[in-house]
Amino acid sequence: MKRDNILYLVVPCYNEEEVLNITSKALYEKMKTLIKDNKISKKSKILFVDDGSKDKTWELITSFYNNDKMFQGIKLSHNKGSQNALYAGLMFARENADMAICIEADLQDDVNVIDKMLEEYDNGAEIVYGVRSSRKSDPFLKRITASAFYRFMNFIGVEMIVNHSECRLLSKVALDTLAQFSETNIFLRGMIPQLGYKTAIAYYDRGERKAGKSKFNFKKMMNFAMDGIISFSIAPLRLITVIGMLLFAISIVSLLVTLIINLCGTAISGITFIILNMWVLTGIILLSLGIIGEYIGKIQLEVKKRPRYIIEEKLIEKN
Ligand code: UDP
Ligand code: MG
């Protein structure tokens, strides 16, 4: 083990006042043990990123920082979502650390996964993915939708690690490479596998949230899934082309059939058929426009090149 390696734990927090006291204690103890065992440098830090919380999250982070400078904090001016919060933390870690580990504020990720990740890092991995060995602690609906999402993403050709959420280790090299990705819409689970390098997996049991409620409502989950699909694949656009070609082929066949029937002297009646066709085709056209619209929307957001996050306050003490 290399005792000089500086580790930054990056913890995104959105309205986490209920759980932060428990989290800070658990992470602090873990870091102290790692330092005592010479696994990481004394200069290692726990970096909380307050993602525009409206409760006492920032006050708590400030009090941790005032008690011990192992705790550091960044406050974003507005709620930008966990992806941007994580990214902000990682970019800070990049300046001072040899490696960073992302971990949820609710302690759902077992903190002992950190030891396994450090071992893999010592073995030369630049990226270590935390992968859940089971999803038993997740509600039934979440398990089903998550599994369908991973399958769908793999199906449309997006490289993603199954059952890996945001818990991962990134070395300085990986962080520097990530910093070169200039997109505004960040979807880390899709971006990190694009970095390449030597990777490893650390399995862990994902537990229940220690306190408070999940910050992901249905709308946020849908947005997250859409971001992943639109930012990483043009498969939905291809699908429109395929449907278009299929409908074109069907229209040629029906044209021929109608002509032949007409030539035989029989008139075609079928107002119901025409109405049904109209509804189905209009539906397909609107759906296709919607999909194209989603891509145009994403392009618009990318073209604007707005900052991914705005930092309102920093509690950073450099070593
Ligand atoms: N989070 C965040 N910004 C948000 C939503 C969530 O920084 O807009 C953080 C949250 O505080 C937590 C992590 O992202 O540390 C994962 O959120 P949560 O545990 O609520 O999600 P779940 O585990 O239920 O999917
Ligand atoms: Mg959670």
pLDDT, residue 268, reads 66
Q: How far apart are the first and last CA of the chain?
A: 21
Give the domain CATH number at 184: 3.90.550.10
User: With 70 as the cut, is the pLDDT of residue 319 above it?
Assistant: no
Q: Ligand 1 atom closest to Cα of 51?
A: 7
The pair of structure tokens assigned to 215 is: 């910050």
15 lies in some domain: yes
Mean pLDDT of 97-109: 93
Better-predicted residue by pLDDT, 220 or 94: 94
Ramachandran assignment for 260, one of left (phi > 0), alpha (psi -120 to 50 degrees), beta (any other): alpha
The pair of structure tokens assigned to 209 is: 């949230």
User: With 90 as the cut, is the pLDDT of residue 276 above it?
Assistant: no
Band (4; pLDDT cuts 50, 70, 90): confident
267 lies in some domain: no
Beta strands at 99-102 and 164-171: parallel, antiparallel or unpaired: antiparallel
Amino acid code (one letter) for 318 = K
Ligand 1 pocket at CB < 6 A: 12-14, 16, 51, 79, 81-82, 85, 104-106, 108, 209, 214-216
139 lies in some domain: yes
- Average pLDDT, whole number, for the chain? 89
283 lies in some domain: no
Query: What share of the chain in percent tops pLDDT 70?
Result: 97
81 lies in some domain: yes
282 lies in some domain: no
Write the residue with the smallest CA distance to atom 17 of ligand 1: 215
Ligand 1 center from residue 135 Cα (angstroms):
17
Mean pLDDT of 200-205: 92
- Comparing 240-249, 272-281, 300-309, which segment has the lowest mean pLDDT? 272-281
Can you tell me which residue has the tokens 């920032």?
58
Under 8 Å between Cβ of 199 and 122: no
Q: Ligand 1 atom closest to Cα of 49?
A: 7
CA atoms within 13 A on the CB side of 76: 27
Ligand 1 center from residue 217 Cα (angstroms):
10
Q: Choose one of 215, 218, 220 to mutate for the ligand 1 pocket test, by most ligand atoms within 8 angstroms of C-beta.
A: 215
Write the residue with the smallest CA distance to atom 16 of ligand 1: 104
User: With 60 as the cut, is the pLDDT of residue 2 above it?
Assistant: no
Estimate to the nearest angstrom the gap between the alpha carbon of 232 and the chain centroid: 12
Ligand 2 center from residue 138 Cα (angstroms):
10
pLDDT tens digit string along 116-144? 999 999 999 999 999 988 767 777 877 78
Q: Choose one of 9, 55, 84, 106 to mutate for the ligand 1 pocket test, by most ligand atoms within 8 angstroms of C-beta.
A: 106
Q: Return the ligand number nearest the Cα of 52.
A: 1
Task: Give 303's contacts (C-beta < 8 A, 6+ positions apart).
Answer: none
Ligand 1 center from residue 138 Cα (angstroms):
14
Ligand 1 center from residue 307 Cα (angstroms):
21
pLDDT, residue 154, reads 84
Under 8 Å between Cβ of 150 and 161: no
Write the residue with the smallest CA distance to atom 8 of ligand 1: 81
Estimate to the nearest angstrom the gap between the alpha carbon of 38 and the chain centroid: 32
239 lies in some domain: no
Better-predicted residue by pLDDT, 153 or 45: 45
User: With 60 as the cut, is the pLDDT of residue 37 above it?
Assistant: yes
Band (311; pLDDT cuts 50, 70, 90): very high
Q: Which domain holds residue 62?
A: 7-232+306-315
Number of domains composing the chain: 1
Ligand 2 center from residue 208 Cα (angstroms):
8
Please choose, from the candidates 48, 40, 39, the residue with its C-alpha nearest in 3D space to the C-alpha of residue 73.
48
User: With 60 as the cut, is the pLDDT of residue 248 above it?
Assistant: yes
Band (114; pLDDT cuts 50, 70, 90): very high
User: With 90 as the cut, is the pLDDT of residue 180 above it?
Assistant: yes
Q: Ligand 1 atom closest to Cα of 105?
A: 15
pLDDT, residue 3, reads 64
Band (278; pLDDT cuts 50, 70, 90): confident
Mean pLDDT of 71-78: 96
